[in-house]
Amino acid sequence: MEWTRREFLKATAAAAAFAAAGGGVTRPGEAGATVDREGITWGKAPCRFCGTGCGVLVGVKDGRIVATKGDPAAPVNKGLNCVKGYFLSRILYGKDRLTTPLIRKGDKFEEASWDEAMELIARKFKESIAKYGPDSVAIYGSGQWTVFEGYAASKLFKGGIGTNNVEPNARLCMASAVTGFMSTFASDEPMGCYDDLDLGDTYFLWGANMAECHPVLFSRLIDNRLRNPNVRIIDIATRWTRTSQMADQYVPFRPQTDLALLNAIAHVIVKEKLYDEEFIKKHVVFKRGKEKIGYGLEEHSRLFVDDPKPMTFDEYRKFLEPYTPEHVAKLSGVPAATIVELARLYADRGRKVCSLWTMGFNQHTRGTWVNNLAYNVHLLTGKICRPGENPMSLTGQPSACGTAREVGTFTHRLPADMLVTNEEHRKKTAEIWGVPADRIPAKPSLHTTEMFRALDRGDLKVLWVQVTNPFQSAPNLNRFRKGARKGGDRFIIVSDIYPTRSTELADVILPSASWVEKTGMFGNAERRTQHWFQLVNPPGEARNDLWQTLELARRLGHGNLFPYKDVEKEMWEEYRRFGLGQGKDLAPYEAYHAARGLRWPVVDGKETRWRYAEGFDPYVKAGEQIKFYKNKKDEGRAVIWARPYEPAAEAPDPSYPFWLCTGRVLEHWHTGTMTGRVPELKRAAGDAVAELHPDDARRIGVRNGDRVKLTSRRGSLTLPCSIGGRGKSERGSVFVAFFDEAKLVNDLCLDAFCPISGEPDYKKCAVKVEKG
């Protein structure tokens, strides 16, 4: 039975009333909940997987999820799900679900009560803080944290314990997007939205395999092309994928040379005077930052702060002079004529251009720079802040934007783009949190890679991991897995729903509630904040991560930080105070109950589709046209950065002659903790493979399915090879997905990172490939 919108709104309003009255689960017959003819109660929620933020309807019967389906009223996906989304009802019901706390006793784990587990955890925290200070403890969370969970973790550690040792795994996937946005616009997250996928006609995909990693969004591009024969999709990538198959043009380039390519495109635009001179005069300034800034490979690598120097347009023009199409063709392997063609396509006044990227840009030793360079092309041509023409970084986790970025669960951040290094920001935060102004440390502490280095060194003593699997997903994994079990005063807590490669290294394992087993809010890649109510109970003694954090706060003597009775509502209303009047406005809690998400800033009850543009953004006044109002230092202008090409931190050589790239496949999400429990998805893609170019396979002497051994300077891995499968690596390259917990490809990865963002480069390191 399909519901009308009126029936659905009525049901969700009933759910809201029930929850406000103290209930947690909507069941038939309670609070007037509507039930279909099969006895199934339906509720809305965002999908649990990627940062797209698809809306789903969740069917519950007898206290169990029995069905899910795409929500036709959800504007993101309009009823469509990807293959992972269609199996959402199965992700919570694996046979090995964690249901009771576990405490390590030697090489085994023994069941314990929540009181025993939390008392042990609190004691370890107290002992470490007393002996070594607040910076000896840390929490490592995720873009899968709900807004409530991330906010509570940040408030406890920064405002209670007094350490900035708070990091999310979004440092591994979105940090370069953050520093790119902040350095160019002084505000994080995009000016555009998903509507651009329906309205543009030229789409440059930079290292983004959207067909597999963002399939619902890619379907909107394809639908746009079916309706509009003028639409062109250009796939600029280092490997041929299912996206390449669907694109109008595939442009392969050598790893790391995207920096040179974007400068060459800008070179052509400037040389041929294809830029928008009026837009540049009104809305842009030019700057140059530090160069030759290293790759973060040294120990104790703190986040680098750029040192911008102003430039003139003529100085920028001179900076671009070496990046001729002919020179960059030699670097990148992209023909000079193709570079010119791409530049002219970007600048064509008759076409609406969007640039889209994911980890190809972000997981990059110059991730901040390459994000800046993409914005440069849009700013030069004035193709920005308008319907159908915008740059956009796509996210990989359901709340990497809402929780990691907007809440500010990075070591250097506070909510609403504020920074711990800014005294006024710390004062405002302290006032809202009700803590002394000097409680929040004035310096960032450990970013993710350095956090795990510190654990290995022994500088970090107690680490609590929530909603993520770092001992499968971290770079240079061999080192960090060994470091976790070195003993001494090290103590690791892992909260999760299933056994993982991280829980096996823990001292305490806490069973968590997941997804609709709790009430939550996520923020997706287009600034859309979405809410859902708890629909079923978690199994056994599992409890949500918010409860776990608040329980630790109480046992550490910081319970006063969380005086809430109606926890989620009161916490939300406190949190939204940070963004009001700052261009980060969020709506009151109740506004999200029935809505399929609202894109911030939300002012006077209206969401914002396009930021910085007159007629769309409430902060842009009549006559201002476009105003990058967050960048007060540059009087409301965006920055075009002179960012040079620099080689990769590690490149192939005679001993290690191949590039290794890691990534995702359609059927699995990240480390496969949830999708690996779905038999249908496991059968579709059961094991990771090494994807080789046919010419390389012939040279090595292997056929499809033969075993090959990959070796880097950090580790080795043997697995089957794939030749001519779903993707095809370019000559001299090999690709391996990282979902397979039996094949830890990150053992091979280098922990080099962008020194501005702290994001590691999973896309480029050197390996040798031999017969297995």
CATH number at residue 71: 3.30.200.210
Statement: residue 751 has pLDDT above 60? yes
Q: What is the pLDDT of residue 4?
A: 36
Q: Is 637 inside a domain boundary?
A: no
**Could you report the per-residue pLDDT of 691-720, keeping only the tens digit for each?**
999 999 999 999 999 999 999 999 999 999
In which residue are the tokens 């930052």 written? 289
Which residues are documented as binding site? 47, 50, 54, 82, 84, 144, 169, 173, 256-258, 359, 363, 469, 495-496, 518, 545, 662-671, 738, 746, 763
Q: What is the pLDDT of residue 13?
A: 38
Same domain? 26 vs 125? no
Q: What amino acid is encoded at 658 in this protein?
A: F
Statement: residue 14 has pLDDT above 60? no
Q: What amino acid is encoded at 118 in this protein?
A: M
Q: What is the pLDDT of residue 292?
A: 87
Catalytic residue numbers, as ranges: 84, 173-174, 359, 396-397
- Would you state the structure tokens that stand for residue 52, as one six-digit string? 């797209």
Comparing CA positions, the residue from 751, 750, 744 lying closest to residue 765 is 750
Statement: residue 558 has pLDDT above 70? yes
Torsion sign (Cα): 114, 115, 118, 120: negative
Statement: residue 197 has pLDDT above 70? yes
Statement: residue 688 has pLDDT above 60? yes
> Predicted confidence band at 36 (pLDDT cuts at 50, 70, 90)?
confident
E-state strands within 55-152 = 55-61, 64-70, 102-105, 108-111, 137-141
**Domain extent for 66:** 5-90
Separation of alpha carbons 367 and 760, rounded Å: 9
Residues of the chain above pLDDT 70, percent:
96
Report the DSSP pairing between strands 309-311 and 166-168: unpaired
Range 324-337 average pLDDT: 98
Same domain? 446 vs 552? yes
Same domain? 378 vs 275? yes
Same domain? 311 vs 167? no
**3-class DSSP state of 605:** coil
Domain boundary among the residues 336, 364, 397 is at 397
Same domain? 224 vs 307? yes
Which residues are documented as binding site for [4Fe-4S] cluster? 47, 50, 54, 82
Separation of alpha carbons 599 and 577, rounded Å: 17
How many domains is the chain partitioned into structurally?
4
Same domain? 210 vs 132? no
Report the DSSP pairing between strands 102-105 and 108-111: antiparallel
The number of C-alpha atoms within 13 Å of 392 and in the hemisphere containing its C-beta is 32
E-state strands within 382-486 = 391-393, 462-466
347: left (phi over 0), alpha (psi -120 to 50) or beta: alpha
Statement: residue 27 has pLDDT above 50? no
**Could you report the per-residue pLDDT of 477-493, keeping only the tens digit for each?**
999 999 999 999 999 99
Q: Could you tell me how far CA 166 lies from the centroid of its own chain? A: 16
Statement: residue 24 has pLDDT above 50? no
The verdict on whether omega for the bond into residue 601 sits within 30 degrees of 0, i.e. cis, is yes
Same domain? 315 vs 414? no
Same domain? 408 vs 554? yes
In contact, 720 and 687? CB cutoff 8 Å: yes
* Residue 573, Cβ density class (10 Å: 0-12 exposed, 13-18 middle, ≥19 buried): middle
Q: Is 597 inside a domain boundary?
A: no
Q: Is 610 inside a domain boundary?
A: no
Q: Is 709 inside a domain boundary?
A: yes
Average pLDDT, the chain: 94
Task: Count CB-CB contacts under 10 A for residue 249.
Answer: 15
Q: Is 95 inside a domain boundary?
A: no
Domain boundary among the residues 344, 376, 397 is at 397
Q: What amino acid is encoded at 355 in this protein?
A: S
Separation of alpha carbons 224 and 98, rounded Å: 44
Range 305-309 average pLDDT: 90
Q: What is the pLDDT of residue 34?
A: 62
Same domain? 150 vs 241? no
> Predicted confidence band at 547 (pLDDT cuts at 50, 70, 90)?
very high
Statement: residue 10 has pLDDT above 90? no
What are the distances in angstroms from CA 29 to CA 5, 25, 34, 288, 346? 20, 12, 8, 64, 57
Q: Is 608 inside a domain boundary?
A: no
Range 395-419 average pLDDT: 96
SS (H, E, C) 264-285: HHHHHHHHCCCCCHHHHHHHEE
- Would you state the structure tokens that stand for residue 452, as one six-digit string? 């795990």
Q: What is the pLDDT of residue 677?
A: 96
Q: Is 443 inside a domain boundary?
A: yes
E-state strands within 82-224 = 102-105, 108-111, 137-141, 166-168, 202-206
**Could you report the per-residue pLDDT of 111-165, keeping only the tens digit for each?**
999 999 999 999 999 999 999 999 999 999 999 999 999 999 999 999 999 999 9
- Look up the CATH number of the domain holding residue 459: 3.40.50.740
Domain boundary among the residues 524, 554, 574 is at 574
Separation of alpha carbons 230 and 584, rounded Å: 36
- Look up the CATH number of the domain holding residue 191: 3.40.228.10
Find the helix or strand (DSSP H, E) in which 683 lies. helix 679-684
Range 609-621 average pLDDT: 98
Same domain? 266 vs 368? yes
Residues of the chain above pLDDT 90, percent:
93
Same domain? 198 vs 215? yes
Range 513-533 average pLDDT: 98
- Would you state the structure tokens that stand for residue 204, as one six-digit string? 């440059």
Same domain? 109 vs 257? no
Question: Using alpha carbons only, what angle is made at residue 511 by residues 505 and 515, rounded to the nearest 5 degrees?
Answer: 120
In contact, 710 and 716? CB cutoff 8 Å: yes
Q: Is 530 inside a domain boundary?
A: no
**Could you report the per-residue pLDDT of 223-234, keeping only the tens digit for each?**
999 999 999 999
